[in-house]
Amino acid sequence: MSDQTNYNYPQGNPYMKPKKNKTAFWVIFFVLILIVTNLITYFLPRYFPVFSGNSIVINANDEIAVKNINKMLYIYEQLKENYLWELDEEKLWEYAIKGMFEGTGDVYSGYMTADEYSAYAESVSGSYYGIGVRIQNNEDGNVQVVGVFSGSPAEEAGLMSGDVIVSAGDVSLVGVSVDNAVTYIKGEEGTSVTLGVLRNGAELTLEVRRAKIETEYTSYKMLDNGIGYIRIIEFETNAYKQFSEAVTSLKDMGMKGLILDLRQNPGGSVDETIDIADDMLGKCDIIYTLDNKEQKQLYTSDASYTVDVPIVVLIDENSASASEILAVALQDNNAATIVGTVSYGKGIMQTLHPLNDGSMYKYTFCEYYGPNGTKIHGVGVTPDIVVEQSAEYANYSIESIPEGADVQLNKAIEVITQKISD
């Protein structure tokens, strides 16, 4: 038997015996591939987000997300099937996304639809149709007027700095972010909007017509005795360019000292602000930021600067965000004297992320500090010299205060005059 076996399958036969081993090899190989594939399929979505085109597969390990997405989809299907009236399905999802951001409790984070984002982008472009106010969210999360443009429809209707806008038409603005509020306040030229306003506890209703608003973010003039005055209304598009042009003009007029007015300035672009700080400081640190992983990003100024005269900066309780970046950078570097009242205290930055459909979301991603570690968020910048505005003009826009009656500006003139003479 064994001889016969050896005869039929002789040792070293290149055709018969290896065939059995080769078949076994491929069987084992394909089994291993199947096992590895199954393991990847099981573990990858549990620990890493998986993308498919513009979609994302939720981490199976994220139990909260899986549970609530399933719940939301279930409720969505129930509404589609059983709700009495016709549904706007796009609006359902828009509000679902908005609700997620509202759940953060952060009025500076949020989602905008394509229409809302378009209106927002227009409002910071320098020209738009609206009523001519600067607004920000106050500490209660409501929409507060921090400035009224001179000669604007808002000024004509009687809106004042400090007013809280609680409604626009039939839409409540209580707790609504500024970015969303502007989409209800703005509108076509010649139309009107009815605003519900709270002023010192009293409820007012103001009818305000809409008009084309041309925004100059920087204005300047030469005061007596070679004192240059620059007012920055917001740090939006071209603010740095306009500031540079103002400095050049004032230097040509013989500027000996500069008053930089940041009162009622709600902030704006950090990049524009950093560029302005760079022009006012020599080689030094401007600010630094910390994110949720304690990673630090440092913003610095180079050795060259264009503002080489004594500086006084005016701030008030409505100077926020980017205004506070500039004020604290100058104060911590002993480059200016700060006059006025404690600023608003918004020391956090947001990052904006436009989406393919024209919508946008933004969220707070870091907190910023003065170069000496000075905290701003929830604290504000404390002036070197505290001066309260007179009660008579406390709610006036800066531009509307009669010449000579602005006690904060008068103090700034006094301080800069002394600095020039030293």
Residue 308 falls in the annotated catalytic set: no
Q: How far apart are CA 98 and CA 373, in angstroms?
A: 34
415: pLDDT strictly greater than 90: yes
Angle at 123 between CA 118 and CA 128, to 5 degrees: 100
Distances (CA, A) of 238 to 126, 147, 170, 221, 269: 9, 20, 35, 19, 10
According to the model, what pLDDT value does residue 180 have?
84
User: Of 1-10, 34-43, 101-110, 337-346, which has the strongest mean pLDDT?
Assistant: 337-346
Q: Which residue, chain included where needed, has tokens 């008009």?
A: 211
At residue 203, what are phi and psi to the nearest 5 degrees? -95, 130
According to the model, what pLDDT value does residue 127 have?
67
Q: Which residue, chain included where needed, has tokens 């400090």?
A: 162
Mean per-residue pLDDT for 23-50? 57
Closest CA to 359 of 56, 80, 95: 95
Q: Is the pTM of this model over 0.85?
A: no
According to the model, what pLDDT value does residue 17 have?
44
Distances (CA, A) of 103 to 109, 111, 336: 10, 12, 40
> 113 or 150: whose pLDDT is higher?
113
At residue 278, what are phi and psi to the nearest 5 degrees? -60, -35
177: pLDDT strictly greater than 90: no
Active-site residue (options: 177, 321, 359, 397): 321
Residue 2 falls in the annotated catalytic set: no
Mean per-residue pLDDT for 385-410? 93
According to the model, what pLDDT value does residue 2 have?
36
- pLDDT tens digit string along 241-261? 999 999 999 999 999 999 999
30 membership: H or E segment, kind and range: helix 17-47
Which of 4-13, 84-93, 245-254, 323-332 bottoms out in mean pLDDT, i.e. has the lowest? 4-13
Residue 127 falls in the annotated catalytic set: no
Mean per-residue pLDDT for 98-112? 93
Give the three-class secondary structure for 136: strand
According to the model, what pLDDT value does residue 7 have?
33
Q: How far apart are CA 367 and CA 362, in angstroms?
A: 15
At residue 347, what are phi and psi to the nearest 5 degrees? -110, 40
CB burial string 90-111: b at 16+ within 10 A, e below: eeeebeeebeebbeeeebbbbb
Mean per-residue pLDDT for 20-43? 60
Active-site residue (options: 261, 278, 316, 332): 332
- pLDDT tens digit string along 342-395? 999 999 999 999 999 999 999 999 999 999 999 999 999 999 999 999 999 988
Q: How far apart are CA 81 and CA 67, in angstroms?
A: 21
**What domains appear along the chain, each with residue ranges and CATH number?**
2-47 (no CATH), 110-213 (2.30.42.10), 216-421 (3.90.226.10)
CA 211 to chain centre: 26
Active-site residue (options: 186, 319, 343, 346): 346
According to the model, what pLDDT value does residue 37 have?
60
Closest CA to 180 of 285, 97, 257, 72: 97
Closest CA to 394 of 305, 317, 301: 317
CB 322 within 8 A of CB 299: no
According to the model, what pLDDT value does residue 58 have?
63
51: pLDDT strictly greater than 90: no
408 membership: H or E segment, kind and range: helix 407-421
- Which residues are 231's β-sheet partners? 219, 261
According to the model, what pLDDT value does residue 25 have?
62
CA 213 to chain centre: 22
Mean per-residue pLDDT for 409-415? 98
32 membership: H or E segment, kind and range: helix 17-47
13: pLDDT strictly greater than 50: no
Q: Which residue, chain included where needed, has tokens 């500006």?
A: 409
Closest CA to 286 of 326, 313, 323, 319: 326
User: Of 10-19, 146-155, 413-422, which has the strongest mean pLDDT?
Assistant: 413-422
Angle at 231 between CA 393 and CA 410, to 5 degrees: 50
197: pLDDT strictly greater than 60: yes
